[in-house]
Structure 1
Amino acid sequence: MIMLFSQRGGDFRRVGNMGRRSTHTPQQLRDLILDAAQSIIEAQGLAGLSAREIARRIEYSPGTIYNMFQNLDDVVLHVEGRVLDGLDQRLSEVLTSAGDKPPAQRVAQAYLAFSTQTPRLWNLLFEHHLPQSTQLPAWYQQKLETLTGRMEQAIAPEFTDGTAETRRDSARALWAAVHGITSLATADKLTSVTSQDAVRMIDDLVTTYLAGLAAPKH
């Protein structure tokens, strides 16, 4: 059943059978759309997402979605923003808590754990592609910068020499390596290149990398 909607005083009203009504503010309606889109992606992956399916779940017409977002890509980008925020919160908690292992190891393991706990949402960050002529919005790029900054924070205690730019480049190189192992593990392809599990492999990677940073420079 498709619900019609009307807008009055900045709010959207959902009108169903027998005169049943419910009113949502624009922000509430955006949240409803994103909640539904996220739920669909978690259950079916990106391939299962459509404006019609979102509309069916929230009981609004498909046109309502395009009053709130530019297009379906915009909806997906905002779901990705939620995923990035969740990942950033996880890494931030790791950095501010005590642990036996160096911060870089704990951040890397938290990244791996996040990908295995929410595989379809994590994969969404890399399988969704915008049209070539479309640039990522500034708010999205800022979230990416914040995330890469977490690894920079993590290696800072070990990085006693070099400039801030060198530290940033080193953090991104380590992040890329951790991501590579995580991608293989999530795709169940890691056994084709090593007998080690992902946790052990990431620990070995980060330990070796940090040892290289601490080694005397000649």
Structure 2
Amino acid sequence: MARRSDHSRDELYRLAIDAARDIVEADGFRALTARNVADVIGYSPGTLYNLFVNQDDMVMHVNGRTLDDLHDSLASVMPTGDVDADFALLLDTYLVFIKDNPGLWHMLFNYTLSEGHEIPEWYGRKVKGLLGIVESVLSPLFANNDGDKLSAESRVLWAGLHGITALSDTGKLSLVSGQSTREMAQMLVANYIAGIRARQSVRK
């Protein structure tokens, strides 16, 4: 590792985020503290607070990197216009990402921000970007270019998938079904897409 004086602010930021991610994957997000990150990168804890406002801010930035990685993974699925096949591939990519990043995924949805800490706009834009990928896959079902409806349907389906993966993450999925996470998610997607088609047909 370079001497401390050789690290720019951007380099320190990347070092801190990388170290934080390693800690979360190895020991869970409760082990993520400024002191633990500082120990890994060889700086004082005070240095971390020159990069992040507080613990919540550090977590948001780590989660932001996770969202970026998820976006890159999902964006590798190029829509062909075959909604069923495209979403099946998108779903498998999504589930593989969760399997490969269990600690980071758990923190993404289970870390509770302190009271009064608002979600920053940049974070909201990252989430919107993910939803945009879902919309791009579902868009062939909306020939009338109903953007509002496409957006709403995409968000409901995404939320439903998260519900299944959240139950799986906490080990509670078996309480509601004997099916695997993938089987339940596939059923949800198939039924929801069929429902969209039925609703669109009624409107014609």
TM-score by length of 1: 0.84
Q: Which residue of 2 aligns with 1:142?
A: 125
Asked if 2 retains the 8 angstrom alpha-carbon contact of 1:40 and 1:49, the reply is: yes
1:159, 1:167 within 8 Å by CA — same for their partners in 2? yes
Equivalent residue, structure 2, for 1:7:
none
Q: Structure 1 CA distance, aligned partners of 2:194 and 2:90?
A: 17
4+ residue segments displaced more than 6 Å = 97-100
Q: Deviations over 1:23-78 (max 9, x none)?
A: 21111111111111111111111111111111111111111111122122211111
Tell me how far 1:138 sits from its aligned partner.
Answer: 1.2
1:66-85 paired onto structure 2 within 5 Å: 66-85=49-68
- From 140, 143, 153, give the equivalent of 1:170: 153
- After superposition, where does 1:149-168 map in structure 2 within 5 Å? 149-161=132-144, 163-168=146-151
Count of equivalent residues: 200
Residue of structure 2 in register with 1:130 after alignment: 113
Letter in 1 for 2:189: V
- Please give the alpha-carbon distance, in whole angstroms, between the structure 1 residues aligned to 2:176 and 2:14: 42
Q: Which residue of 2 aligns with 1:202?
A: 185
The within-5 A match list for 1:47-62 is 47-62=30-45
Instruction: Give the aligned partner of residue 217 of structure 1.
Output: 202
Q: Tell me the residue number matched to 1:107.
A: 90
**Residues 1:40 and 2:40 aligned together:** no
Q: Distance in 2 between matches of 1:97 and 1:166?
A: 21
Cα deviations by residue, 1:92-115 (Å, 9 ceiling, x for unpaired): 102358989522232223222211
Closer, same or farther: CA 97–73 of 1 in aligned 2, 3 Å: farther
Amino acid at match of 1:191: S
Identity of counterpart residues, as a percentage?
38
Comparing both structures, which one devotes a greater share of its residues to helix? 2
- Deviation, 1:150, is 1.3
Structure 1: 5+ residue runs without aligned partners?
Answer: 1-11, 15-21
Distance 1:201 1:121 in 2: 22
Secondary structure in 1 aligned to 2:6? strand
Separation of aligned partners in 1, 2:99 and 2:169: 6
Do structure 1's residue 91 and structure 2's residue 74 form an aligned pair? yes
Do the aligned partners of residues 39 and 180 (structure 1) sit closer, same or farther apart at CA in structure 2, a change above 3 Å counting? same
Q: Point out where structure 2 has 5 or more consecutive residues left out of the alignment.
A: none
| TM-superposed deviation, 1:204 | 1.6
- Cα pair distance change 1:57/1:42, threshold 3 Å: same
C-alpha contact 1:181 1:190 (8 A) present in aligned 2: yes
| CA–CA distance in structure 2, aligned partners of residues 192 and 158 of structure 1 | 34
Structure 2: which amino acid aligns with 1:94?
Answer: V
**How big is the alpha-carbon RMSD for the aligned residues of Structure 1 and Structure 2?**
2.2
Partners of 1:162 and 1:60 lie apart in 2 by 53
